[in-house]
Amino acid sequence: MDGAPYLRKVDLRMYKGYRELREALDALFTNSFSAAAEGGGDHHQHAIAYEDKDGDLMLAGDVPWE
């Protein structure tokens, strides 16, 4: 599902920076996909992206956390 959005809202006030956010999302997706990948040994990768106020798709980390 390359490029498929999951459309979930995240409260960024819960995290101190991109590192904590990435670790939380890694844990979420690792747990979600672990059962599916158990037999095949597939490695899932993802990128954290968001839509800015102009409607552009941005990668998290392109702008400072603050």
> pLDDT tens-digit profile of 27-58?
877 765 555 555 555 555 667 888 888 988 88
- Asked if the structure places residue 24 within a domain, the reply is yes
Domain count, the chain: 1
Look up the domain containing 25 and give its range. 14-34+47-65
- Asked if the structure places residue 51 within a domain, the reply is yes
- Asked if the structure places residue 53 within a domain, the reply is yes
Per-residue confidence (pLDDT) for residue 15, from 0 to 100 = 92
Burial class (CB in 10 A: 0-12, 13-18, 19+), 39: exposed
* Predicted model pTM: 0.57
Reduced to 3 states (helix: H, G, I; strand: E, B; else coil), residue 35 is: helix
